[in-house]
Amino acid sequence: MTLQQELATVAITVEESVTGIRVIKGFGAEPIQEAELKRRAGRVYERAVALARVRATFIPVIDFLPALGLVAVLWYGGHQVLDHHLSIGQLVAFNSYVVMLIFPLRLLGTLIAQTQRAVAAAQRVEEILMTAPEIVDRPDAQPMPEGNGEVRFEGVTFAYGIATDHPVLGGLDFTARAGEAVALVGSTGCGKTTVARLIPRFYDVDGGRVLVDGADVRDLKVRELRRAVGIVFEDTFLFSDSIRANIAFADPEASTDEVERAARLSGAHDFIAALPDGYETPLGERGFSLSGGQRQRIALARAILANPRVLILDDATSSVDPTKEHEIRDALATVMEGRTTIVIAHRPATIALADRVVLLDEGRIVAEGTHEELLLTSERYRQVLAQAEEADELARLGDDV
């Protein structure tokens, strides 16, 4: 591997040690991670020393060559002058031309080397840029139809990659009426996030259709569709930029008033205003300096500012400490008003925000009703909630490590 590649692996190890600190500490794996970092850093060191050695050999030689040339010119030219074939002036002029040429020639050498490196790098960048996206507008793509955000799944089958014997969704029928708040509940891995991803068309269905306001999402302009559907994911990603820029992500032109309004709705305004730099506070890598709940509220403000017809909250409160959950829950309630909302959740308090609960199991809806109704009638529902509570409990223990 080249030095650049070795450096990249060290950078990755460091980044993952930081972002994965909970996992590392949770497993008591600090020594393992440290050894790994040492090993990789050691390889960088060896590479760098090897490279320095090559340089140390070549650079003096390269520096020495022009000097050798000068000696040759003076020696030969000197004899020519002594033999009266050449005047002193001509020799001096010739010699200064040679000296003037040395620097541009060396520069040319460096330029050629740099060009070769740039070409190699550009090829790698191009490989990524030239990857054709799988999801593109159809030639006759339609604009978003009028509507208030009705979402309908009709017999949707879906599998990641090549359709296997066990598709994630096996004939899903599901409707969220315009303006309704639906809680989507199900055990881990049952396909809730997959349902969320199909609405803004991050993937295309294998069978059946997904409709937003009556239009098949595959017939719509992808950009318009994605602006109409807002998602807040469980693992909030914040950019290394100011809080304002993070909130105004969908619309960098948004006015201060609009940013503040979104932050108030999501319950983020108060803690932002209390920061020394307020909305201009820069967020570090992935915004690590904020608590989970604060990051979640900024992500929510970002979704609100985009003002989507359909808002999907994928486990948006699960990384928030349950004792602090009510803060973000109030914010959610405000945001959900008059907007179709699909809340993926497992805590009863969050589920209670929804008008209706649907229980997803093995890629199908197996029960529907209010939270209380399902508690009474569905054994599976009780099971799923109990499992989720246990997992929550474990996660909390892990956090204390």
Ligand X SMILES: Nc1ncnc2c1ncn2[C@@H]1O[C@H](COP(=O)(O)OP(=O)(O)O)[C@@H](O)[C@H]1O
Q: Which does 236 bind (CB under 5 to 8 A by kind): ligand X, Mg ion, none?
A: none
Within positions 183 to 222, which residues make up the interface with ligand X, using CB under 6 A?
Answer: 186, 188-194
Residue number, 172 or 305, with CB nearest to ligand X: 172
Q: Which does 189 bind (CB under 5 to 8 A by kind): ligand X, Mg ion, none?
A: ligand X
> What is the rounded distance in angstroms from the CA atom of residue 156 to the CA atom of residue 358?
16
Residue number, 267 or 363, with CB nearest to ligand X: 363
The nearest distance, CB 175 to ligand X, in angstroms, is 19
Among the listed residues 64, 160, 237, 288, the single contact to ligand X using CB under 6 A: 160
Residue number, 77 or 191, with CB nearest to Mg ion: 191
The nearest distance, CB 189 to ligand X, in angstroms, is 4
Q: What SS3 class is residue 319?
A: coil
> What is the rounded distance in angstroms from the CA atom of residue 255 to the CA atom of residue 221?
27
The nearest distance, CB 319 to Mg ion, in angstroms, is 12
Q: Which does 190 bind (CB under 5 to 8 A by kind): Mg ion, ligand X, none?
A: ligand X
Instruction: Indicate whether 383 belongs to the interface with ligand X (CB under 6 A).
Output: no
User: Per-residue x/- marks for Mg ion, 192-221, CB under 5 A?
Assistant: -x----------------------------
> What is the rounded distance in angstroms from the CA atom of residue 208 to the CA atom of residue 216?
10
Structure tokens at 80: 């020519």
Which residue number has the CB closest to Mg ion? 193
> What is the rounded distance in angstroms from the CA atom of residue 97 to the CA atom of residue 109?
19
Residue number, 235 or 270, with CB nearest to ligand X: 235
Q: What SS3 class is residue 359?
A: strand
Spell 200-218 as b/e; 16+ CB within 10 A means b: bbeeebeebebbbbebbbb
The nearest distance, CB 400 to ligand X, in angstroms, is 24
Residue number, 193 or 236, with CB nearest to Mg ion: 193
Residues in contact with 189: Cβ distance below 8 Å, sequence separation at least 6, in sequence order: none
> What is the rounded distance in angstroms from the CA atom of residue 154 to the CA atom of residue 172?
6
Residue number, 192 or 309, with CB nearest to ligand X: 192
Asked if 198 and 156 count as a contact pair (C-beta separation under 8 A), the reply is: yes
Residue number, 33 or 350, with CB nearest to Mg ion: 350
Q: What is the DSSP string of 99-168?
A: HHHHHHHHHHHHHHHHHHHHHHHHHHHHHHHTPPPS----TTPBPPPSSS--EEEEEEEE-SSS--SS-S
User: Per-residue x/- marks for Mg ion, 116-155, CB under 5 A?
Assistant: ----------------------------------------
Tell me the number of residues near ligand X by CB under 6 A.
10
Structure tokens at 42: 């050691």
Instruction: Name the residues that contact Mg ion, by CB under 5 A.
Output: 193
Instruction: Name the residues that contact ligand X, by CB under 6 A.
Output: 160, 168, 186, 188-194
